[in-house]
Amino acid sequence: MNDAAFSGADLAFLPALEVAKLFARKQLSPVEYAEALIARTEKLEPRLACYVRFTPEIWRAMARAAETEIMAGIGRGPLHGLPVGVKDIIDVAGITTTCHSKILRDAPPATTDALVWRRLKAGGAALAGKTSTHEFALGGPSFDLPWPPSRNPWNPDHHPGGSSSGSGAALAAGMLPLALGTDTGGSVRNPATMCGIVGLKPSYGLVSRGGVFPLAFSLDHVGPMTRNVEDNAALLRAIAGHDATDPASVLRGHEDYSRELRAGVKGLRIAYVPRFHRTDHVADPHVAAALDRAARRLEAEGAIVEEADLPPLAEFASINRVIICGEGYAIHEAWLRERPEDYAESTRRRLLPGAFLGAADYIQAQRRRRQLTDAVSALLATHDAILCASSMDTPAPIADVAEIERTYPRQSRTPFNVTGHPALCLGVDLHPNGLPLAAQLVAGAFREARLYRIAWTLEQAAGFVGRRPPL
C-alpha cells in the first residue's frame, strides 16, 4: 500500500489531516502508521509517562479494520484510521476509567463509551490508549499515586501542564496526532501552553460530557487537542453535537469549523487584554514579549488590534475556586469521608475546603459569575476575539513542589471556564530556556469557526507550528 517512503520521525509529526489524505490515496497504510507510532511510544513512554493504559493491540486491530475499509473504498470521514489518545476520565467500554486515582484503580471496566469517543469510533478513529491526568482532573503532578505524572517532552525534568497532561505530552512528543482532554479551570489549555500544541476549550454545552467523570458540573468542558489549528477544527467537528443525556448540552446543527480557516484577519477587530500579564500577574518578560509579538503579527496581517480591559483575574479565579470547591466536594463527599487517605495529598487539599462552603457562598459566586460573563460578552460584542496570556511562566521543574504551587495559579485561563466562551491556546515561540511560549485567543459563544480563523492566521505568522522537541 506504500508508494512513498517516510521515516518514523517524519510520520510522527505529520499533521493528522495529511496522514488521512495519504491513507485515502493508498500511499500509506493505517497499519504502517500505527506500527511507526507504537514503536515511538514504546521508546519514549518510559521517560514521559503519557499513558495510564497504552493499548497497542486495540490500536492495531482498529487500524487493520480501517485499512480493510479504505482498501474497499469505504470512507468514514476525515479521521478514518487516525489514532486518538483519550484522557482517562473519559469512558471507553471495556477499560477501567481510573481518573489516575487509587480510588478507581480497581473499579470495573466501563460498560459503555462516552459519547465523544463513540462519535470518534463511528468515524473510524482508533484508540491509542487512556492518557494520564492529574487525579480526578484536579491537583497537580503528584508522585503519591498509582501511576507517575507525565513529563514535558521539551524538557522531561519539567511538568507538561495539566490536568490533560498525558494528552498534551503525547502530542508534543509525536506519539499520536489527536487527543481528547477536559477543561474545568484551564486543563486543555495548560498542557497546550506548556507543550507548544493547540488546545481548545469549546463553548460551554457544545461538546457532550456524557460518560466523562465530572469535576465541577457547571464548569466542565471536553476539548480537542492537536499539533495544529486545522487538525483541531476537524477533531472538534467530529466530537461536537447535542447529547440529550447531558443537561448542559445545546441543540445546534453540525458545523464545518474550518470553513473560514484561510479567510485571513483583515478588518477583524481583536481586543488585546494586557492587564492580565502586566498588572494582575506580572509575567516573565519573555512571555510578555511573545504576546506583544502576537498582537503585532495579527496587526501585520490586517487585523485591528486594540488594547482593552476586563475585570481583574482575582475575581474570576475566586469565582472559579468557589464553584470547583462546592461542586467538586459534592461529587467526592462519600469517598473523602470513607477513604481520604487514598487521595493524593494535593487533591485532598483542594477538595476538602468544599466541606466548609455555605449555600450563600455558592449562590453569591454564581451571581457574580453572571456579571463577569456579561463583561466578557460585552467586549466580544464589539470585537471578533480577545488576545491575552495563558500562563505567565514556563513550566516549573516537576520535582519542585513549591515552584509548581507558585506558578500554577499565575494564569488567565479560568476566566473563560467561568464565562463559558470558547478559548484556544497555541504555541507561538520558544523561551530562551527551550520551553514553549503560547498565546490565548477567545471568541464569542459558539463562534469557534471565527476563533479558528484567527488562530490559523497567527499560527502561520508565528511560524512555531512544526517545531519539535529535542527528543
End-to-end CA distance of the chain: 29
The dihedral built from the CA positions of residue 447, 273, 152 and 227, taken in this order, carries a sign that is: positive
Residues serving a catalytic function are 87, 163, 187
Rounded to whole angstroms, the Cα distance separating 417 from 441 reads: 13
Helix, strand, coil distribution of the chain in percent, nearest 5:
45, 15, 40
- The three cell numbers of residue 470 are 529535542
For residues 226 and 84, the answer to whether their CB atoms sit within 8 Å is no
Return averaged pLDDT per consecutive 10 residues of the chain, 471 residues in all: 62 97 96 97 98 98 98 96 98 98 98 98 98 95 96 98 98 98 98 98 98 98 98 98 96 93 98 98 98 98 98 98 97 97 95 96 98 98 98 98 96 98 98 98 98 98 95 89
365 to 41, 315, 401, 410: CA distances (angstroms) = 44, 10, 30, 21
Q: Which of 167, 162, 207 is nearest to 52 (CA)?
A: 167
Q: 46 φ, ψ to 5°?
A: -60, -30
36: left (phi over 0), alpha (psi -120 to 50) or beta: alpha
Determine the pLDDT at residue 139: 80
Rounded to whole angstroms, the Cα distance separating 283 from 297 reads: 20
Determine the pLDDT at residue 6: 67
Q: Let me know how many helices (H) and strands (E) the chain has, helices first.
A: 16, 11
Fold of domain 8-462:
Amidase signature (AS) enzymes (3.90.1300)
- The three cell numbers of residue 415 are 476566566
